[in-house]
Amino acid sequence: MAGWPARFYEAAQAVPDDADRMLARAAVDQAIANTRSAVAERHRAKLILHILCDRMDTVAVIGADSFRLLKSFRSRASNLSMGYRD
């Protein structure tokens, strides 16, 4: 797997708690499986990552590139939650 799904799975694996990590992976799986278009898939996954970022105790294990990516998605997910599209 390449591209954004791989980065999202990497971020999900970085969630410290085992139970939350399993939920994170399942949420990313569901985002990929349940949406019909690539754009909708990405928007849903960004929103999921926004929620996950709020629950994470540490980001040290994610790595600098992925962390920058997550920070970008967090701000964009905030806009999505208010009905704005990027």
pLDDT digits over 27-71, tens only? 788 777 765 566 666 776 777 776 666 655 444 444 445 555 555
What mean pLDDT is predicted for residues 75-86? 53
Element (H, E) at 74: helix 64-81
Listed in sequence order, the residues at least 6 apart from 39 whose beta carbon sits closer than 8 Å to its beta carbon are none
Distance CA 60, CA 30 (A): 26
What single-letter amino acid sits at 19?
A
Angle between helices 18-34 and 4-13 (to 10 degrees): 160
Q: What per-residue confidence (pLDDT) applies to 81? A: 53
| Cα 50 to the center of its chain, rounded Å | 6
